[in-house]
Structure 1
Amino acid sequence: MENSKYLSVGALTKYLKYKFDQDPYLTRVFIKGELSNVKKHTSGHIFFALKDGNAVIRAIMFSRSANGLKFEPEEGQSVLIQGRISIFESSGQYQIYADSMEIDGVGLLFEQLEKDKKELAEKGYFDADHKKAIPAYPGSITIISSETSAAYRDMITTLRRRYPLVKVSMINTLMQGRGSKQAVIDSLEYADKLNSDVIILARGGGSIEDLWTFNEKDVSLKVFNMKTPVITGIGHETDTTLVDFVSDIRAATPTAAAEVAVPNVRDIAERLQQSDTFMMRSISKRIDMHKKRLEALSNYYKLKNPELLYDQQTEKLATLKTNLDTRMNVILREKRYQHAGIKDKIEYKSPTPMIGRYKEILNETKTRLDDEMTDKIRDRKKELSSTIELLNSLSPTNILLRGYSFTTKNGSIVRQSEELDTGDEIETTLGDGRITSKVTEVKNSDRE
C-alpha cells in the first residue's frame, strides 16, 4: 500500500492555515461577542474566548495591540473586535487574532452602570441608615407608571383587594425610550409635593434597553433625595436596576410593590380578632383575680374587727415615736460631744494670748525707741551748738570785726608780699567795707 498519498497532520494543518491566510474574507473580519476566560500574560498578550448564544471562538490579542486599549477587558463584557482568522499550527485550532477591541454600545452602558453603582455605594447611598420607613397603614399612595400598562392595572387590583381604604393617585409617565429619564425625574419631583404617604415607582418587564431609564444615575439620585418613602417595582423578579439599590424598599415586581405598600385587610381582621380574644381573656383573668382578692379581704379577721387595726397601728406608732426620740437623743449627745471637742481645739489654737504677748513686746519696743530717739536728738543738738560756735569763731567776718583785714589781687587773697609788684591794683576788705588801692612800694622782710 502506497503511503505517498497520505498527508501528515502537520502538512494538512499547514495547508489549512495557508488557505485561511489567503482567504480575503478571513483576513479582515468584524465580530461581536461576549468575553470569556480572559487571561493577561506577563508579556502583555491577552488570551480569551469570544462567545454568543450559539458558538465560541478562541482569540488572542498581542501586546502591540493590547497596549492601545482604552479599557481593561473583563469577563462578560460585550465587545466589538476587528482582526483576522487563522489556524494555530501547534493545536490545529482556528482562532481570531484581534487587532482592535472596543466595548459594544450596551457594554458601555454596563460599564458606566458599574462605575455609578460603585460610586454611590462608596458614598453610602445604599446603606440601610438612609432608608425611610414605610407607614404600616398608609392613607394615600401615588403611583408613577404608564397608565396603559398591565403593571398599573395589576397594582390597582392588588391595592383595592388588599387595602380598599387607601387613596390612590396616578401620574402617567413615559417609562422608556427618548425623554423617559427626564419624564421620570419630573414625575418624582411632582409626586414628592403631593404629601402622599408612599410613592410606588413601577413598570413591567422588558429588555435591558427598555429598563435602562432606571439605571440612570440622575434618576437614582432623585429617588435617594425624595422626602416621601419610595417603593420600586421594576421589571421581573430577576431584574435589578440602580434605583432599586437607593429606594427605601425594592419589590421584585410591580404587583409585589403594591403588596409591600399596604397591609392586607384579611390580616388586619385576623389580628383584630386575635387581639379581641386576647383582651377578653386578659380581662376575664383580671376580674377573677380581683374577685378572689376581694373575697380574701372580706374574710380577713381584722376587717371584721376594725379596732384591731387601730390598736395595732397605734402601738406601732408609739413604738416608732419612742425609737425616734431615743435616736434623736443619741444623735444630739454625739453632736454636743463633737461641738465641745471642736470648741476646745479652737480655744487651744486661738491667737488671742499670742496677740497679747506681741502687744506687750510692741509697747516695750515703742517706749525704748522713744527714749533712744530723745537721747539721740539731745546729743545731736549739743553737737550742733558746738559746731556753730566753732564756725563762728573761725568766721572771717568775726576776725575782721576784731580789727583784722585781708587783701585780694584779681579776686585772689594775697598771702605774701612777694605776690605783689609796684603798680598792682589791690582790694583790702575791712570789717565795715572795702578799700581799693595801688601798690607804690613792696617791702619784703627777707629783702635788704
Structure 2
Amino acid sequence: MESSNYLSVQALTKYLKYKFDQDPYLTRVFLKGELSNVKKHTSDHIYFAVKDNASVIRGMMFKQKAGRLSFDPVEGQSVLIEGRVSIFETSGQYQIYADSMQIDGIGMLFEQLEKDKKELQQKGFFNAEHKQPLPKYPSHIAVVTSETSAAMRDMLTTIERRYPVAKLTIINTLMQGSGSRDNVIQNLKKADELNADVIILARGGGSIEDLWTFNDKEVAVNVFNTNTPIITAIGHETDTTLVDYVSDLRAATPTAASEIAVPDMNDLLIKIEEARLYIYKRTLDKIRDSRNNLSSLSNYYKLRSPELLYDQETQRLIHLNTQLNERMRNRQKDARYYSERLDRNLRYLSPLPEIRSFREQLHHLDKSLNTQMNSVLKQSQRNLGQILEMLDSLSPTAVLKRGYSFTTKDDKLIKSTDDVKNGDYIKTTFREGTVTSQITEVNRND
C-alpha cells in the first residue's frame, strides 16, 4: 500500500478538532464534577481536571474568564462548568475550555464551612485550654437529641447498663431539616441551665445534608459557650462536623459518647473490692508490724530497769547546770569590772572643772565689757554734743537769724553778678520767708 494513503498525526488531529468544533453538542457543554490538579499559571490561565467516580477530563480557563471568578478554585471542590469541548492539537488530547465556573450547591456549603472553620480557629475556639474536663462520676446527664432516633435508644441502653445511678434528662430536639438549627441552639441553652454534670449532643448517621445543621457556625459558637462540659457525637466515626472541633470532647458515635460520659459500674465494683482487699491486707500488715515492734520494745533492757533511761540524763543535767552558774558568775564579774573602769575614766575626763573656769572668765569679761561700753558711750555723747554745737553755728538758719539772707535763681545759689542779667527773676530767702524780685540793673565792680 502506498504511503500516500496514510494520514499524518497532525492531519488526523486537525480533522478530529474540526469535527469537535463543528459539533453543536460540544460547542456548549454543561459539566458537573470535582476539581483536581488545579494549577494557576504565571500568565493567570487556570489548568485543571474534572472528574467523577468513573472518568476524568482535562480543562483550562483563559485569563479573561478566570478573572471573573468569585472564588479561588482548589482541589476537591464540586463545581458546575459551562464551556466548549475541543482538542489541543499539540498533545492530541480533548479537553473542556471553561467559559464560567461556579461552586456546586454542596460545594458552596463546604466553601462556607472552611471559612467558618478558619475564622473560629483563628479566634482560638479549637485551643486545648478551652476544653473542660469531664466529671469521672456524673450524677446528672443532659442528652440533646431526637427521642425517636435509634441513637437515643442506644445511648439509654448503654448508660443504664454501665451506670444506672446517673439521672438522665432527655431534651427532644429536631436534628435535621428546616428549623433544626434554631431548635438545637434553644435546647443547648436549656440543657446548660439544668446544672447537669455533662451534656451529650448526639444524632445518628446520615447524608452530609442531614448533618449540616452541626456545621453551622452559630450552633458551634453556642456549643463553645456552654458552661457545662459537652460531648458531641454526630453521625458515624468518619463524620466530623464543626461542633466536634469546639466541644470539650468528640465521640465517634452516640454509643461511644455514652461510654465516655459514664464509668462502667462493674469496673467500679471490681475496683472497690480490690481497694477493700488492699485496705484489709494493709491493716493486717500494720497490726503485725505493731505487734512485733511492741514485743521488741518490751524486751529492751532499759525498759526492764527504767532508771537506766534517765540516770545518765540526770547527771548530764547537773553538770550543765553547774557550768551555767559558773559562766553567769564570771560574766557578772567581768561586767562589774568593766563598769568600774568606765566610771573612773569618766571622772578623770570630766569637763566640769574646765567649764567652771570658763564660766568665771566669761563673767569677768562681761563685767569688763559693760564698763568699757559705758565709758565709750559717755565719750561719744560728749563728742556728739560738740559736733551738734559746731553744726548749729555753721547752719544757714543760724546765719539767717543774725539778719543775713541768700538769693537764688532757678533754685541755684547766686554767688556772682555773672550769674544774673536784666529781666531775671530771683528769690531772696530771709529767716521768716522769701521775696521774689526782677532784676532791672546789674552793676559789676571792677
Instruction: Give the secondary structure class of the aligned counterpart of 2:307.
Output: helix
- Matches for 1:345-356 after TM superposition, within 5 Å: none
Q: Deviations over 1:37-56 (max 9, x none)?
A: 11111111111111111111
- Matches for 1:16-95 after TM superposition, within 5 Å: 16-95=16-95
Q: How far, CA to CA, are the matches of 1:364 and 1:56 in structure 2?
A: 134
Shift of 1:316: 3.3
The answer to whether 1:231 aligns with 2:231 is yes
Query: Aligned partner of 1:209: which letter?
Result: E
- Matches for 1:136-151 after TM superposition, within 5 Å: 136-151=136-151
Shift of 1:363: 6.6
Q: 1:381 to 1:428 in 2, by over 3 A?
A: closer
Q: Which residue of 2 aligns with 1:291?
A: 291
Instruction: Give the secondary structure class of the aligned counterpart of 2:5.
Output: coil
1:202 and 1:234 in contact (8 A); partners too? yes
Q: Which residue of 2 aligns with 1:423?
A: none
Instruction: Give the secondary structure class of the aligned counterpart of 1:26.
Output: helix
CA RMSD in angstroms comes to 4.1
- Matches for 1:20-419 after TM superposition, within 5 Å: 20-322=20-322, 324-325=324-325, 370=370, 373-394=373-394, 405-406=403-404
Q: 1:334 to 1:410 in 2, by over 3 A?
A: closer
**Identity over aligned residues, as a percent?**
55
Q: Deviations over 1:196-240 (max 9, x none)?
A: 111100000111111111111100110111111111111111111
Q: How far, CA to CA, are the matches of 2:326 and 2:42 in structure 1?
A: 99
Q: Which moved more, 1:276-285 or 1:368-377?
A: 368-377
1:405 and 1:428 in contact (8 A); partners too? no
Query: Aligned partner of 1:232: which letter?
Result: T
1:35 and 1:75 in contact (8 A); partners too? yes
Q: How far, CA to CA, are the matches of 2:338 and 2:174 in structure 1?
A: 93
Q: 1:364 to 1:199 in 2, by over 3 A?
A: farther
Query: Aligned partner of 1:54: which letter?
Result: A
Q: Which moved more, 1:228-237 or 1:6-15?
A: 6-15
Instruction: Give the secondary structure class of the aligned counterpart of 2:36.
Output: strand
Q: Deviations over 1:42-99 (max 9, x none)?
A: 1111111111111111111111111222211111111111110001111111100111
| TM-score, structure 2 as length reference | 0.84
Q: 1:381 to 1:281 in 2, by over 3 A?
A: same
1:138 and 1:262 in contact (8 A); partners too? yes
Q: 1:323 to 1:270 in 2, by over 3 A?
A: farther
Instruction: Give the secondary structure class of the aligned counterpart of 1:199.
Output: strand
Q: How far, CA to CA, are the matches of 2:397 and 2:364 in structure 1?
A: 50
Q: How far, CA to CA, are the matches of 1:80 and 1:347 in structure 2?
A: 120
Query: Aligned partner of 2:255: which letter?
Result: T
Shift of 1:317: 2.6
Q: 1:238 to 1:367 in 2, by over 3 A?
A: farther
Shift of 1:28: 0.6
2:145 and 2:202 in contact (8 A); partners too? yes
Q: 1:256 to 1:379 in 2, by over 3 A?
A: same
1:163 and 1:265 in contact (8 A); partners too? yes
Shift of 1:332: 6.9
Q: How far, CA to CA, are the matches of 2:360 and 2:317 in structure 1?
A: 65
Query: Aligned partner of 1:84: which letter?
Result: R
Q: How far, CA to CA, are the matches of 2:45 and 2:357 in structure 1?
A: 111
- Unaligned 5+ segments in structure 1 are 420-425, 437-443
- Unaligned 5+ segments in structure 2 are 421-426, 436-442
Q: Deviations over 1:328-386 (max 9, x none)?
A: 66877898899999999999999999988997897787667656644542332121111
| TM-score, structure 1 as length reference | 0.83
Q: 1:299 to 1:341 in 2, by over 3 A?
A: farther
Q: How far, CA to CA, are the matches of 2:341 and 2:52 in structure 1?
A: 105
Instruction: Give the secondary structure class of the aligned counterpart of 2:25.
Output: coil
Q: How far, CA to CA, are the matches of 1:39 and 1:21 in structure 2?
A: 26
